[in-house]
Structure 1
C-alpha cells in the first residue's frame, strides 16, 4: 500500500491509487532514504528494472558514507554481487580503506555522476541512509573548513573518557542552536561541531531554511519505512548475517590495511572487533531511530511503507506518479 505523511499529524494515511503510468522525466532525480535494513537497495533495483521494462535507464548512485569504502562491503551492508549484477551502481566500493573522506568530497563526486546520468537521458536513483550525504548529493552543500588531526584526537579522547553527554553539554554552552540540531548519540556530528568551535569556526546553518528548497535538479524525495517491530527484527537478522558473512574478518583486514579514522566510524566496526553482536544490534537500532527522526524532518517527502508489500509494486507505484501528499 502507498502512504503519505499528513501535514500537522502524527498519523500515516493511505493515498488513493490510479491506473495511470506516468512518463518518467529523465531529468528528475529519485532520492530514496530510510533507516538501516528497511530495504532501500531492493526498491532501488526494482525501480531500475521497472524503468528498463519501459525502455528507460535508471542508475543507482550510492549516498552511504561507509558503502563508499572498498573493503567494507559486508560491514556496511553494501549491495551484494547479485544486486550489482541486476542494476548499475555508482559510488559504491570506490574509496580506498585508508583514505579520509568527507561529505564535501562526496558531494562533488555525486554531482558529477548525477549530471552524467541526466545528460545521457537516464534517471539517477540516489540511495542511502546517511542524511548528510543525501543532502550533499542533491544540493550545493555549504563546505566547512578542515580541522587538525590533533583537535580531532583530543576530542575523541574526551569522548572516551568523559562520555557523549558531557561533550553535548559543552556544545550547548557554546552553541544552543547546534546542540538542538545534534543528538547526543550522534558522535560524529558532535565531535565535528566541537572541533570547528575549538578552531574558531562557526557551526551555524550557513545557508538557512530548508535544504530541500535548494536542490540542483528536480527531485522526488522518497521515504521508505516499516513497522518498528518488523524493522527491528530485520536489523537483528542483518547483524547476524554480517557476522556470519565474515564481518569480523573484514574489520580485521581493514585495520591491517590501515583503515582511516572515517572508515573506522562504520556502524558496528567496534562491536565486530570485540565480538559483541548484542551491542551492535542496539547501536543499529539507535541509528535507525535517528534516521527516522531525520526522515520526519524532510519536506516535502513521499512516504512508502514496505510492510507486507512487494517491492516491484512499490516501484511501479512510484513510477506511475501516484505522489504522496507533501509532509
Structure 2
C-alpha cells in the first residue's frame, strides 16, 4: 500500500488520545486497512502498571492492537535510545507489511524518538546514574534539584523539581563534561526530517475541562487498582525509571490529592509545549467526540497520502 502517512497523536495526559486512535483505526479498517497503534509513552513500556500509566484497556486493545505496551519488567532500566530502536523496528516492519502505524503518546522525547533519528546525548554511565539515584533516594527530589541549581542554574529553571529523571540525567551529563540540553533543543528536533511521511496531530482541550477530567481519571485509576499496581511494583524492585510514572510516589504514600495536583501540573506543561511546535494539525477535543476528531484526522491523512511523500 503506497504512500502511507504515519499519524502521530500527542497531547496532555487525560485528553483522550487512545479513544481517538481507536476511532481512527475503525475508519481506516472500513477503508480496507489494518492499522496498529505504537505507544510512544515511556512509562507504558513497563508491565504491571497498565492502570497507573493509562495504557489502552483490554476493550480498547480488542479494537486496536497496541505495540510497545507492557514489554519490560518493572525492575528493568531503559533509555530513549533503547526505545527508539524498538519503535523504529515496529514502525518499519508494519509499513513493510502495508499496515499503517498510529503512533500515540504524550511523552515528547519518546514521540520524537519514534518518528525521527535523534541526536541523543551520550548513554548514561551506570555507576554515575546509580550514585545520583542513591542521592535522590537518600535526600529527596528537592535536595537533588538544589544540586543541579548550584551547577547549572539555567538548566534547573527549565526542569521541574518533581521531574527527577531529567534532573538525574542533567547531573549525569554535567559529570561527563556535557552541557544539559539548551532551551530550544526540544523544538529544534521537530524541524528535522521524520523517518517516514508523518502527520503530527496535537490533541488539546480547555484547561478547566481537562483538569476536571484528570481528577475524575485519578479517582477511576484508584478504583481500578492503581494503588495495588504500585505496591506490587515496589515489591518487585521497581526501577527508578518505572517510579517516574505519574502517581507512583504519591500512591506509595496514599496521597491521591497530590497525585491529582502533580498530574494537572504536568498536563499544563504539555499544553504549553505542544503549542510551540510547527506543522501540527491541532484538534480541539473540548466537547467533541473521538469519532468526530478521528474523522478530521482521517481526512487529513487521505490528503497527505494522495499528495505523496514530497508533501
Superposition TM-score, scaled by structure 1 size = 0.84
- 3-state secondary structure, aligned to 2:44: coil
Gaps in structure 2 of 5+ consecutive residues: 304-311
Residue pairs, 1:108-257, within 5 angstroms: 108-143=85-120, 144-147=122-125, 148=127, 149-157=129-137, 160=140, 162-163=142-143, 166-173=146-153, 176=154, 178-179=155-156, 181-204=158-181, 210-214=188-192, 215-257=194-236
User: Quick check: 1:321 aligned with 2:297?
Assistant: no
Q: 1:241, CA displacement in angstroms?
A: 0.7
Using the alignment, how far apart are the partners of 1:225 and 1:61 within structure 2?
20
1:308 aligns with 287
Q: Relative to structure 1, is the Cα distance of residues 204 and 277 closer, same or farther in structure 2, using a 3 angstrom cutoff?
A: closer
Encode CA deviations 1:154-179: one digit per residue, 9 max, x unaligned: 55257617546524522434xx4x44
CA RMSD of aligned residues (A): 2.3
8 A contact 1:155–1:191 mirrored in 2: no
Encode CA deviations 1:139-191: one digit per residue, 9 max, x unaligned: 11223221223332255257617546524522434xx4x44653455332122
Using the alignment, how far apart are the partners of 1:257 and 1:185 within structure 2?
23
Aligned residues: 296
Superposition TM-score, scaled by structure 2 size = 0.88
Encode CA deviations 1:238-264: one digit per residue, 9 max, x unaligned: 100111111111111111112111111
8 A contact 2:49–2:229 mirrored in 1: yes
User: Quick check: 1:35 aligned with 2:12?
Assistant: yes
8 A contact 2:133–2:240 mirrored in 1: no
Using the alignment, how far apart are the partners of 1:195 and 1:168 within structure 2?
10
Higher helix share: 2
8 A contact 1:32–1:221 mirrored in 2: yes
- 3-state secondary structure, aligned to 2:202: strand
Gaps in structure 1 of 5+ consecutive residues: 1-23
Using the alignment, how far apart are the partners of 2:270 and 2:201 within structure 1?
14
Q: Relative to structure 1, is the Cα distance of residues 154 and 93 closer, same or farther in structure 2, using a 3 angstrom cutoff?
A: closer
Encode CA deviations 1:35-86: one digit per residue, 9 max, x unaligned: 0100000001111111001111221000111111110001111110000000
Q: Relative to structure 1, is the Cα distance of residues 66 and 319 closer, same or farther in structure 2, using a 3 angstrom cutoff?
A: same
- 3-state secondary structure, aligned to 1:213: coil
**Structure 1 segments of 4 or more deviating over 6 A?**
none
